[in-house]
Amino acid sequence: MQLYNFNSGPSILPQEVLDQAAAAIHNFNDTGLSILEIGHRTSHFVEVVTEAQQIIKRLMGLDDAYEVLFLQGGATMQFMQVPMNLLDENGLAAICDNGVWGNKAVKEASIFGPVKVVADTADKKHTYINKQLDIPNNTTYLHITTNNTVEGTQWHQYPQTNALLIGDMSSDIFCRPTNFKQFDLIYAGAQKNMGAAGVTMVVVKKEILGKVNRKIPAILNYQKHIEAGSLLNTPPVFSIYVSLLTLRWIEAQGGLVEMGKRNQEKANLLYHTIDSLPAFYCPIAKEDRSIMNAVFFLTNPALEAPFLTLCKSEGMIGVKGYRTVGGIRVSMYNALPLSSVQAFCDLMKSFAEKN
């Protein structure tokens, strides 16, 4: 049976990335050794890190004011590592709480200094992006979650601020061209658009570091990682390699312009289908809908279970909504082909006709 992988993350990767990753487990770069058996300080692996850093800077259009790091622990680690490096009692973190992830960012930052929630969308169950931000003058940084994987919302134009701008781009990194330079620090777990689980990309403007008065453990200190060329300790070698393969794939396909074109086309098709079928509805404000994760519902809740059963029987994987939200969630990351969305829309139509 053909499978359609709509997983929210870890999620679908390009077939050629999988083929190359598997081949490297047998023989990496003609070394005769597995990628799992090579030293991380060998020239073979240093080249992997360097090339991945270069592609990221190229895709983002960033100059040497920024550094690219490959860390571990995902966004959950960054929720505490960002404030540990940037926030102290004299500062203020302004955080947009537009859903599950922003909310966690608030909790972790509170351990390190004053926090103000400058946007909260709980009033409408996080079905929109609150863009009316009241950012105090003494704000150190504004933190936004650029795409809310769980709730299905996405910032399509980033907020303007005089404070530093921090972006958790875990679930929409490299989904389209955007003004990355607007940000002072961007982080993303790789397991959606840029590889497999186990590595976290952090892109940071160097000049913002070193301002807090706190002893920072080496492993959590961005500055130390920069000084060590992102090889402070044994990095997640294989996950970084899979990210390199995925980054190469993005460039070879036509870069962010092409990713954006494809993702918009997939999203247009899916949202158009949802909106045109009375059996389904999407509660997300149209201007804030995510092109990565579409969250929607059956108009008749009793039909949700039968629809999910049908999806399963037709090989549609990962379409059950997040446990706190319910409904349906269809994730359409870079590697998902348009044909998968077409197949899903056909299934929706056929289900709607019969019910």
Dist CA 246 CA 248 (whole Å): 5
Please tell me which residue in 101, 155, 184, 288 is annotated as part of the active site.
101
Given a contact cutoff of 8 angstroms between Cβ atoms, the answer to whether 93 and 83 are in contact is yes
C-beta closer to its own copies: residue 59 or 75: 75
Per CB under 8 A, which region of 51-59, 227-235, 255-263, 267-275 contacts its own copies?
227-235
DSSP annotation of 312 reads H
- The residue within the footprint of its own copies, chosen from 198, 260, 321, 327 (CB under 8 A), is 198
What DSSP string runs through 242-303?
HHHHHHHHHHHHTHHHHHHHHHHHHHHHHHHHHHH-TTEE--S-GGGB-SSEEEEEESSGGG
The one-letter amino acid at 95: I
C-beta closer to its own copies: residue 199 or 311: 199
Per CB under 8 A, does 93 bind its own copies?
Answer: no
CB of 11 to its own copies, least distance (A): 6
* Residues 110-139, interacting with its own copies (CB under 8 A): 111
Q: Tell me if residue 168 is catalytic.
A: yes
What DSSP string runs through 235-255?
--HHHHHHHHHHHHHHHHHTH
- The residue within the footprint of its own copies, chosen from 12, 256, 292, 294 (CB under 8 A), is 12
How many residues bind its own copies (CB under 8 A)? The answer is 58
* Residues 284-323, interacting with its own copies (CB under 8 A): 317-318
What DSSP string runs through 314-331?
TTEES-BPPTTT-SEEEE
Per CB under 8 A, does 342 bind its own copies?
Answer: no
What's the first-to-final CA gap in the chain, in angstroms? Answer: 25
Per CB under 8 A, does 237 bind its own copies?
Answer: yes
User: Quick one: tokens of 209?
Assistant: 């570091």
The distance of Cα 34 from the centroid of its chain, to the nearest Å, equals 29
Per CB under 8 A, does 228 bind its own copies?
Answer: no
SS3 3: coil
Per CB under 8 A, does 213 bind its own copies?
Answer: no
Q: Tell me if residue 312 is catalytic.
A: no
SS3 84: helix
Q: Tell me if residue 101 is catalytic.
A: yes
Per CB under 8 A, does 89 bind its own copies?
Answer: no
Per CB under 8 A, does 62 bind its own copies?
Answer: no
- The residue within the footprint of its own copies, chosen from 18, 46, 133, 208 (CB under 8 A), is 18
Please tell me which residue in 97, 155, 184, 192 is annotated as part of the active site.
192
Dist CA 271 CA 262 (whole Å): 14
CB of 7 to its own copies, least distance (A): 5
Place of tokens 């840029």: 194
DSSP annotation of 218 reads G
Per CB under 8 A, does 73 bind its own copies?
Answer: yes
Per CB under 8 A, does 177 bind its own copies?
Answer: no
- The residue within the footprint of its own copies, chosen from 162, 234, 278, 302 (CB under 8 A), is 234
Quickly count: other Cβ atoms within 10 Å of residue 217's Cβ.
8
Which residues of this chain interact with its own copies, rule CB under 8 A? 1, 3, 5, 7-13, 18, 21-23, 25-26, 32-34, 36-40, 72-77, 79-80, 104, 107-108, 111, 189, 191, 196-199, 215, 217-220, 232-239, 242, 317-318
Residues acting as catalytic residues: 101, 168, 192
